[in-house]
Amino acid sequence: MLRWVRQQLGFDPPHQSDTRTIYIANRFPQHGHYVPQKFADNRIISSKYTVWNFVPKNLFEQFRRVANFYFLIIFLVQLMIDTPTSPITSGLPLFFVITVTAIKQGYEDWLRHKADNEVNGAPVYVVRSGGLVKTRSKNIRVGDIVRVAKDETFPADLVLLSSDRVDGSCHVTTASLDGETNLKTHVAVPETAVLQSVANLDKLVAVIECQQPEADLYRFVGRITVSQQTEEIVRPLGPESLLLRGARLKNTKEIFGVAVYTGMETKMALNYKSKSQKRSAVEKSMNSFLIIYLIILLFEAILSTILKYAWQAEEKWDEPWYNGKTEHERNSSKILRFISDFLAFLVLYNFIIPISLYVTVEMQKFLGSFFIGWDLDLYHKETNQRAQVNTSDLNEELGQVEYVFTDKTGTLTENEMQFRECSINGIKYQEVNGKLTPEGFSEDSPDGNRHSLMREEELFLKAVCLCHTVQINADQTDGADGPWHANGIASPLEYYASSPDEKALVEAASRVGVVFTGTSGDSMEVKSLGKPERYKLLHVLEFDPNRRRMSVIVESPSGEKLLFTKGAESSILPRSKSGEIDKTRIHVDEFALKGLRTLCIAYRRFTPEEYQEIGKRLHEARTALQQREERLADVFNFIERDLELLGATGVEDKLQEKVQETIEALRVAGIKVWVLTGDKHETAVSVSLSCGHFHRTMNILELVQHKSDSTCAEQLRQLAKRIKEDHVIQHGLVVDGTSLSLALREHEKLFMEVCKNCSAVLCCRMAPLQKAKVVRLLKTSPEKPITLAIGDGANDVSMIQEAHVGIGIMGKEGRQAVRNSDYAIARFKFLSKLLFVHGHFYYIRIATLVQYFFYKNVCFITPQFLYQFFCLFSQQTLYDSVYLTLYNICFTSLPVLIYSLFEQNVHPHVLQSKPVLYRDISKNAHLGFKPFLYWTILGFFHAFVFFYGSYLLMGEDTSLLGNGQMFGNWTFGTLVFTVMVITVTMKMALETHFWTWINHFVTWGSIVFYFIFSLFYGGIIWPFLHTQDMYFVFVQLLSSGSAWFAIILIVVACLFIDVLKKVLYRHLQPTSTEKAQMEEDKGSVSSACDFAESRHRGEDNRQLLDPSSLPDSSYVH
């Protein structure tokens, strides 16, 4: 029990050893004292709550919010002491807010439960007691042998035992895990591959030892020991043997696998990254404002308590004749009485803190986020993809971005590779009409029109065709001997590849005469100018980012053992000892200057002795359970040396459409763009120039290829000096990964200074974590700028999660970036609409919403404070308790919510065509201290006008009612409340620029509802109310002509100053946005045109609101 508690608290991890031992089919050893290891069951749990913990857990989370906790305290105070208002006045709004939030969160969690149950209840087939047993997915245990059929997903992480193919191989797509759509080949060990029936598998006696679960999808270290008769055979298990939960079986009839990781220990579940909660700048401002208002509240409560006791110092006011004290009150402690009075005033003024602000903001964010998904301008027709919102908490942050960090490949470019040039044996070639033509030769020249390939060319193309992970569509492999063209080239095969570069190279080789026709067993088949050749695949040395290369060892038809290697020039050229190294290096740099992606290709021949040594070393490293990666890296480095360079390739990645215009618009909007890429220096600079990130007129500074701290620091100082000297012209900075590491280690401040003075920064040769480091560096700099990161691949995830706003591109590199992002769009060009239009609207709406809430609560409570000066600080309430309760919930809640959903202060087309308007809202301009102070002072001013206006007009002459009756305090309070409801609603109307029928309905409807409610509430005796102070008060008030005069006069007096201020500022000191509004108004020829425009915009809005107008109306947000 104690251990379980320690595990739950995280002190005692459940897995004590580094490895787990799995007995296949759960055949545990019969001898000895074997204690089975405990493993997780196969249930997937993505939900947050259960039926039992929902109420306590949800309440705990909600009361962590300052405002909710504060109102709970106030409610408890009202229950404990005699306070001027009923506990219902605090309790009901609190209950409403808590209930609405709990329903929303409960519904979202119910959907998660539903999805979990669907997954956990899926039918699966397991081998038990010599037969196939149908069971549910959640019942699979570690050690069970599971059967999976074609197109089914794997229900747990399985080690492949056998398939319907003799060699025990199968094809898998991992699109749902890492987004890679290519078919990956997985293979079983030879000893189990032959066991293709249930009966044979049931006799299998084997043990798997492997590492404990970890999140890395591409790492698996284990070994299988198979007992056959008297001997035990040990085979290594790697990622190629592991079938991951969530992946799908393709082109294979069925497979059998043994479950090694189940449920929440599968790699898929471990990759459910609990994203750190990002908080927007607006939320931080909101909390600051709440604290200021809490200080105002405490000040008012303390002042009222002190004045009460100062007043009561005079005996005639301490115990007036009409209000004598009881014996208990006379004898009670003065300190306790002071505390009691202070708490009573705190309760009386507590509505200055707007409790419904949180729930309104949540509703606004949740409902407002649908507009992004419904926006047809963000819909990409070719791929049928619409924008996606993964978190609605950051909508307004889209309007505050100061830095954009973007990946290059697949984000700025299409990630569609086209073979352009290659260098073979020091000669440059281009592809002309399906033939390799040396540079300088045309197709018509004698040497340009050849049907044969030279030996070096053929060897180069064979290396391209053999060194890759490309798969062929299974439906085509049988027909590879099909129609042949005149030049001996097969009709195009359909290739699948995890890397678009590989696919482009294999396709290019097939066009010029060397065709990869597929694999069968451990052989790779190639047709060179129509002549089939079969190479035996002996070993694959997988690609990894540290080596930056991949290799294959094959046996040629003549029996020769060959190593073919391809990779970045920085990892191939230093390892080459022969071939045209210098010429190739020049050619690689030339390709890079044209913006092409480059790869170098080399080979090596092995003697039988060398190959034997290599095979032994590889087997030892691959069967090691400890430090397998390090050992393999050492062996790979030992093998990939003394290479003979064959040549290099140049592949073009086309720029996405409108990238140049988007980057220019971001620059005009005052947003700095940084490009972070893994590409080599020259390629990255070339693409930066072509996409407009760097201008031709820009002075490009470089901080590259530094190996030591001292040289890096010296270069940084020189760059800073140059920027100061040439401060007139724009600068662009290029940094590479190694120099960046040095710069960040010791000279962070200097590096930041240089970067901030550059208009554009390009970081090349970046590792994924370096990208995140750069984002964090800027994010945490003293200015605290708002950052946005955009990328399309798994290597961009850390950067996307680090930035304030993360945007995933739905590209060809999979869905990992999209899944980990806050927003997802199909193309980079959509970023301008997302920021300049949606970001602008969301920010304006929520800035006004937050400040309006504080304003209307100041208007609400200040008259209550002023009233105490007229009632001897007796804590008499000015308003009826029903009005206190319903003011924020009913009378003033809808106009501001509708405003915050539909407001468009400038037409969307104007915002997109004038990116400079984005500068008007940057740096939290509308939620800074000045606007907050203006709204607060306006609230106090309006409150004084409400109270003293009503007092001056009605207070002295108290017999103004039609029947000669006198005004009472409830009539006075109701007059103040009526004026207040009308004024704050009209103030919202003044702030609204874009009127729809919904705005009209809720604005005027709120005022009408208040009047109708008051007539019903005061006109009927309600049996369930124990006191009814308001009976007939409202009806009598409205029967007085002077009351109507007072209402109109006070409302006009309040709003006149506000209108005057707006008019003067608009004409004397207009912002860019206000100028755009005036230009928009002048553009309307007549009022009829105005009406037509308004109607057209209304239709636009309705079109946005109507998901059925999208091509696929089944879309669910």
Catalytic positions are 407
Q: Which helix (H) or strand (E) holds 533?
A: strand 531-544
Distance in angstroms (rounded) separating the CA atoms of residues 288 and 284 = 6
3-state SS of 304-321 is HHHHHHHHCCCHHHHCCC
> Taking Cα atoms as reference points, which of 238, 146, 150 lies closest to residue 201?
146
Q: Interhelix angle for 356-368 vs 840-867, to 10°?
A: 160
Q: Which long-range contacts (CB under 8 A, 24 or more apart) does 580-585 make?
A: 580/425, 580/426, 580/645, 580/647, 581/645, 583/423, 583/426, 584/423, 584/426, 584/645, 584/647, 584/648
CA distances from 94 to 90, 289, 878 (A): 6, 20, 21
Token readout for 539 is 């070993």
Check: CB of residue 356 under 8 Å from CB of residue 93.
Answer: yes
Token readout for 210 is 């492997």
Determine whether 795 is exposed, middle or buried from the number of CB atoms within 10 Å of its CB (0-12, 13-18, 19+): buried
Determine whether 1085 is exposed, middle or buried from the number of CB atoms within 10 Å of its CB (0-12, 13-18, 19+): exposed
Token readout for 26 is 């759960």
CA distances from 14 to 38, 586, 890 (A): 8, 56, 53
Check: CB of residue 158 under 8 Å from CB of residue 254.
Answer: no
Spatial CB neighbours of 63, under 8 Å, sequence gap ≥ 6 = 69, 72
Check: CB of residue 498 under 8 Å from CB of residue 524.
Answer: no
Residue 505's φ and ψ, nearest 5 degrees, are -70, -45
Check: CB of residue 155 under 8 Å from CB of residue 245.
Answer: yes
Q: Give exposure, 615-650, as e/b (b: 16+ Cβ within 10 Å).
A: eebbeebbbbeeebeebbeebbeebbeebebbbbbb
How do strand 222-228 and strand 231-237 relate by DSSP bridges? antiparallel
Token readout for 344 is 């009573």
Provide the 8-state DSSP code for 213. P
Distance in angstroms (rounded) separating the CA atoms of residues 354 and 366 = 20
